[in-house]
Every structure is written in C-alpha cells, then in structure tokens.
C-alpha cells in the first residue's frame, strides 16, 4: 500500500493521535522551550533519518546553566554566534522522543515551517510521544490534510 512519511505526536499514555504533519525522511524539525532554571529559550533541532529514527543534530541556547551542555560531543562543534551558544554536528540517536508538556509558555514543535504550541495539543504535564512514521495514504485521505485536534 502506498505510504508517505511524517511526524506524529501522540499522548504517550493512551496512544491518542494529537498531531500529524507530512515530513519526508531526512527533514529537520525543532522542539522549542524555555529552560526551567535559566528562563532562556532553547531550540533543539532534530532530524528524521532515512530509517525514520529521530536524531538530535543541533542545539541552540543563550546561557550556560543547569542541564545545558558546556562542551560539544566528540565530532561536534560548539560555536558562540550572535549572543547564542550553538552546538552543531551532532548525530545523537533519540529514537522516539518522549516529552512532557511544559506549563511555561514557549514549548512548541516546529515542523515544515508550522509552529505548534504543545499546550494547544494537551494539558501541561501530559507526556507526549513524537515519532517519525510511514503512514498509509488511505489514512491520510480519510482523515484530511492534517490529523490534529486542539482542546
């Protein structure tokens, strides 16, 4: 059966589909949030590999602090640029990305140029599963252009 690749967000506990966007393997997407201690924006750039496994490829943040990297992984590069700290050249295998919706505004997913505020998909504290998938074309046709529901 013909299929296309995309990124899906499901409620981790129930498996309920909350969001789906077409996204070819090899494409990048972002998770944006406000750091809980530093209160500064963080962007994690991820990519869906040809194997549909999610990899962390870059991190951008504004200050060093609790839980934020101070050195780059082997083979990666830490660059100070325009007042931001950028770690590039990463290839850290994530697989399925599981995250909790933050009550702090600014927690979002950016896919194919669309910014989706996670609090619009689920209540703060809800665990979400983010996966790169191959979806059957028939499911796409029956469910419409974008499979997501807002509260």
Residue 55 located in a structural domain = yes
* Distance between CA atoms of residues 87 and 79, nearest Å: 6
CB atoms within 10 A of CB 121: 20
Residue 149 located in a structural domain = no
Domain that holds residue 110: 3-143
Q: Give pLDDT tens digits for 99-109.
A: 999 998 899 99
- Written as six digits, the tokens of 41 are 């924006």
Q: Give pLDDT tens digits for 121-147.
A: 999 999 999 999 988 776 656 554 444
Per-residue pLDDT of the chain in tens (151 residues, 90 and over written 9)? 677 899 999 999 999 999 999 899 999 999 999 987 778 899 999 999 999 999 999 999 987 777 777 777 888 898 988 889 999 999 999 999 999 999 988 999 999 899 999 999 999 999 999 999 988 776 656 554 444 443 3
Residue 150 located in a structural domain = no
Specify whether the CB–CB gap between 25 and 48 falls below 8 A.
yes
Residue 34 located in a structural domain = yes
Of the candidates 12, 2, 17, the one whose C-alpha atom is nearest the C-alpha of residue 149 is: 17
Residue 62 located in a structural domain = yes
* Count: domains in the chain: 1
Residue 95 located in a structural domain = yes
Our CA angle for 75, 76, 80, nearest 5°, is: 145
Residue 80 located in a structural domain = yes
């Amino acid at each position: 059966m013909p299929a296309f690749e995309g990124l899906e967000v499901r409620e981790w506990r129930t498996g309920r589909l909350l969001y789906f966007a077409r996204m070819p393997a090899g494409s990048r997407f972002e998770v944006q949030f406000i750091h809980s201690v530093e209160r500064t924006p963080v962007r994690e750039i991820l990519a869906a590999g040809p194997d549909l496994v999610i990899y962390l490829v870059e991190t951008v943040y504004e200050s060093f602090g609790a839980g934020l990297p101070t050195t780059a992984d082997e083979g990666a590069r830490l660059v100070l640029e325009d007042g931001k700290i950028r770690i590039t050249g990463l290839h850290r295998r994530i697989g399925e990305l599981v995250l909790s919706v933050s009550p702090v505004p600014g927690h979002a997913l950016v896919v194919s140029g669309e910014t989706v505020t996670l609090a619009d998909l689920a209540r703060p504290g809800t665990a979400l599963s983010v996966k790169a998938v191959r979806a059957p074309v028939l499911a796409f046709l029956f469910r419409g252009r974008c499979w997501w529901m807002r509260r």
